[in-house]
Amino acid sequence: MGLLDGLLRGKTVLVNGGSQGVGAAIARAAVRAGAAVAVTGRRTEPGEALTAELASAGGRAMFVRADLADAEQAKAAVAEVVDVFGRIDCLVNSAGLTSRGTLLDTTPELFDAHIAINLKGPFFAMQAAVADMVARKAPGTIVNIITSSAHGGQPFLAPYVAAKAGLVGLTRNAAHAHRWDRIRINGLNIGWTATEGEDATQRAFHGAGDDWRVQAAARLPMGRLGQPDEIADFVVFLLSDRSGVVTGSVIDWDQNVLGGLD
């Protein structure tokens, strides 16, 4: 048996942005931990392929096509999961936009896109999920996937950092507001991670070649990029009762230490 086996048995988990990358890894880990899992995404084909994979592994899974930039779709996705599975016990907000922009060249349209996906979507998904938990007088857990760049980040991540830093504040505010409802809300500030989305970003914005992962790993203390399955196991632990009473924590899941200087 694995370390996480059974930790989410009997739970219903919704993973927003769950059709690829870190979100898909979290969905797989949640199924291995015993949960029924719903994933959302904008593209039907990868979402349905993932849920078919999860079902073939013995899990109960569903895909909801939704653009989390639209608050109404974010709320409707929660409603659809509640309609099919009866409730939501755990929510993971993993959808994200990482397109580049500096303070000087970011357009209002780009800024709004980052706010919509990286902050507004999670806000209204949390609103709908927490409303279900409160209505049932049931405990629940939420994990927001944020970024180590929320501490400041690179100059070319200005709108991304603005939105994700807002998600840090929202995580703590909501955790405080609903601690007496026994709803625990935490966040992960993840560092550089090897995902399909990161590969596309490196190639599109930084002219990266096929060996970019090797070059990146050589510049990191542990000699490798973070892996989605490692993050996924950590998220399952935070979603589970084994993480105890922890709430309002935003954990730096990274190999560089904030404030450390050489």
What pLDDT is attached to residue 1? 53
Angstrom distances, CA of residue 100 to CA of 48, 55, 237: 29, 36, 32
What pLDDT is attached to residue 205? 74
Tokens, residue 203: 């190639």
CA distance 223 to 91: 32
36-41/61-65 β-pairing: parallel
DSSP H helix total and E strand total for the chain: 9, 7
Active site residue ranges: 160
Tokens, residue 76: 């409707």
DSSP helix/strand/coil, 145: strand
How far is Cα of residue 110 from the mean position of the Cα atoms in its chain? 21
Let me know if 211 is exposed, middle or buried by CB neighbors in 10 A (0-12, 13-18, 19+): exposed
What are the beta bridge partners of residue 226? 193
CA distance 242 to 246: 10
- As a whole number of angstroms, the longest Cα–Cα distance in the chain is 54
Tokens, residue 54: 């999860």
What pLDDT is attached to residue 191? 82
Q: Are 48 and 99 in contact (CB under 8 A)?
A: no
CA distance 100 to 31: 34
- Which three-class secondary structure string do you get for 175-212? HHHCHHHCEEEEEEEECCECCHHHHHHHHHHHCCCCCH
DSSP 8: T
What pLDDT is attached to residue 85? 97
CA distance 24 to 16: 10
Q: What DSSP letter does each residue of 85-123 carry, written as one string?
A: HS--SEEEE-------B-TTT--HHHHHHHHIIIIIHHH
Backbone angles phi, psi at 253, to 5 degrees: -95, 80
DSSP 248: S
CA distance 131 to 262: 47
Q: How does pLDDT run along the chain (262 residues), one tens digit per residue? A: 567 889 999 999 999 998 889 999 999 999 999 999 999 999 999 999 999 999 998 889 999 999 999 999 999 999 999 999 999 999 999 999 999 999 999 999 999 999 999 999 999 999 999 999 999 999 999 999 999 999 999 999 999 999 999 999 999 999 999 999 999 999 999 987 766 767 677 677 777 778 878 777 788 888 888 889 999 999 999 999 999 999 999 999 998 898 887 8
Q: Find the radius of gyration of the CA atoms of the chain.
A: 18
What pLDDT is attached to residue 15? 98
Tokens, residue 11: 């739970």
What pLDDT is attached to residue 261? 77
